[in-house]
Chain A
Amino acid sequence: GQQLNQSPQSMFIQEGEDVSMNCTSSSIFNTWLWYKQDPGEGPVLLIALYKAGELTSNGRLTAQFGITRKDSFLNISASIPSDVGIYFCAGHNNNDMRFGAGTRLTVKP
């Protein structure tokens, strides 16, 4: 199946720093989504992107749907300790959802 390449695999940052992670694919997607997973829980949807070039914000989170439809990035500004978790990108086409391997974020107070 289609593979999503998500990077970086992990990040260790200081509280207050900005964070950027991205996801690329060899295939195009009609929808890109970003989820956050807390330890031992299921992922929760953060942002959904439906149009190429779309830039969407949700509080301190900003995500963009790449023009080529093969990539997306997520930025977190002014990180706080509760941002800790695993962030997953997902691409969706025709009832087929593909997930990246995740970016594990650690925030040091």
Chain B
Amino acid sequence: DGGITQSPKYLFRKEGQNVTLSCEQNLNHDAMYWYRQDPGQGLRLIYYSQIVNDFQKGDIAEGYSVSREKKESFPLTVTSAQKNPTAFYLCASSMVANYGYTFGSGTRLTVV
């Protein structure tokens, strides 16, 4: 079955370390997105990509980096520059100009 897979489900990071969250989709979707979710807040866009080898900053890109070397994959790196990285991270994909995003099941990152 087609879908979007995020891994790992839970991730613990020490302060000062970079960590990479994986997102893979086999839906043949062109566009992929990374959102951050904090309690009581809506989803905030970190980065998005509409085509391989191209990506754009969202509203809260500082302290994050991404790559889009393959259509199926859109990994997110949370760098040590991100001052408050503890959050639930959601990856999504869609066909360009299709508004029905498909979300992964999320990665909960905790800084210890």
Contact = CB atoms under 8 A, between A and B. Distances in A.
A and B associate: yes
Nearest to A38: B105
A98 B97 CA distance: 15
Contacts, number: 54
A57 to B, nearest CB: 17
Contact of A33 (B31, B99, B108): B99
A101 B43 CA distance: 7
A9 B103 CA distance: 22
A66 interface: no
Q: How large is the interface on B (under 10, 10 to 19, 20 to 34, 35 or more residues)?
A: 20 to 34
B59 interface: yes
Which among A6, A35, A42, A43 has the highest number of chain B CB atoms within 10 Å? A42
Interface residues of A, number: 23
Contact of A48 (B48, B59, B99, B106): B99
A41 B105 contact: yes
Interface of A: 1, 4, 6, 9, 31, 33, 35, 40-45, 48, 88, 92, 95, 97-102
Question: Nearest 8 A-B pairs (CB), nearest first?
Answer: A42-B103, A99-B42, A99-B43, A101-B42, A92-B99, A31-B99, A45-B100, A41-B105
